[in-house]
Amino acid sequence: MKISSDDIAWFDGGVSHIGTDRPEIKADGESPARKVRLRPFGITRHTITFSQFAIFVEETGYITDAERYGWSFVFRGLLDQTGGPQPEGMPWWNAMEGAFWRRPLGPESDWRSTPDHPVVHVSWNDARAYGAWAGGRLPTESEWEHAARGGPHKARYPWGDDEPSDTNAVHCNIWQGSFPDRNLMADGYYGTSPAHSFPPNAAGIYNMAGNVWEWCEDLLRIRSLSADAKRRNAVALRENERVLKGGSFLCHHNVCWRYRIAARSGKQADNGTSNAGFRLAFDRD
């Protein structure tokens, strides 16, 4: 195993729960809260960093999806000048040629300027490859939520139920101000922050809200909101997307209130962006 035991938080197996009965974004499938049974597992105390990922690439020669495609999406506010095409309805993203984990803001940038920040521009495929090399795997959504709460108890955020604000309740790296044009930076960061930033939760785990979205193993299943489908307990898969948890430095409660523990999103397995990273889970022997 290539991760230090000191960097892993371990949890006993048993009954826990996933989801919430207080959904804010119903279309994402946050609700209802439901019981799950977990086997004993561990999870890294912080997301995998640039420097950790660099060792993996050096030892294996691995080529990420973004490298193969030749471009990746970068938040426009991080760029000195406008990049390539913008996706419809999301003008704050630029398709930047030459952006990948080693050049996170494009050809003129270098990961070494932020070695202790979460590695970004990694797809689900890339994260799984790293996990196999490191002797771990991606966490399930149930494991991720359990770890974010610090155990089986209920909490809205990793630190409890206190709602973050734009000025005086700064618990994590999210957007403060008017997105996407004005960031007050009350948390001290415009983009990502170091993986050990902000106080850890009760289990000693850092940054499970904000900073970067984190890949989970699961396919994104959405429970149907129709009454008929509810009776049949129907679920839908959204274009083979994989689950992402935790929100990112771009989240704000007015535009993306997804830094809550029960919140979720999804992307296709080969898609990486400048706000997507991961942490690893481990099975207890």
Pairing of strands 213-223, 235-245: antiparallel
Label residue 208 by pLDDT band (50, 70, 90).
very high
Task: Record the pTM.
Answer: 0.94
Q: What is the mean pLDDT of residues 198-209?
A: 97
- Whether the link from the prior residue into 107 is cis, omega within 30° of 0, is no
Q: What is the mean pLDDT of residues 62-88?
A: 89
Label residue 232 by pLDDT band (50, 70, 90).
very low
Label residue 236 by pLDDT band (50, 70, 90).
low
Label residue 152 by pLDDT band (50, 70, 90).
confident
Q: Helical H runs in 115-198?
A: 124-134, 141-149
DSSP state at residue 2? -
At 233 the pLDDT is 45
Please state which of the ranges 104-108, 221-225, 250-254 shows the lowest mean pLDDT. Answer: 221-225
Task: Report whether 209 contacts 198 (CB < 8 A).
Answer: no
Q: Is the dihedral of CA 37, 283, 269, 244 positive or negative?
A: positive
Q: What is the mean pLDDT of residues 205-211?
A: 98
* pLDDT tens column, 17-37: 999 999 999 999 999 999 999
At 83 the pLDDT is 64
**Exposure letters 75-103 (e unless 16+ CB within 10 A, then b):** bbbbbeeebeeeeeeeeebbebebbbbbb
Nearest Cα residue to 63 out of 123, 152, 148? 123
* pLDDT tens column, 97-151: 999 999 999 999 999 999 999 999 999 999 999 999 999 999 999 999 999 999 9
At 16 the pLDDT is 97
CATH 3.90.1580.10 for the 8-283 domain, yes or no: yes
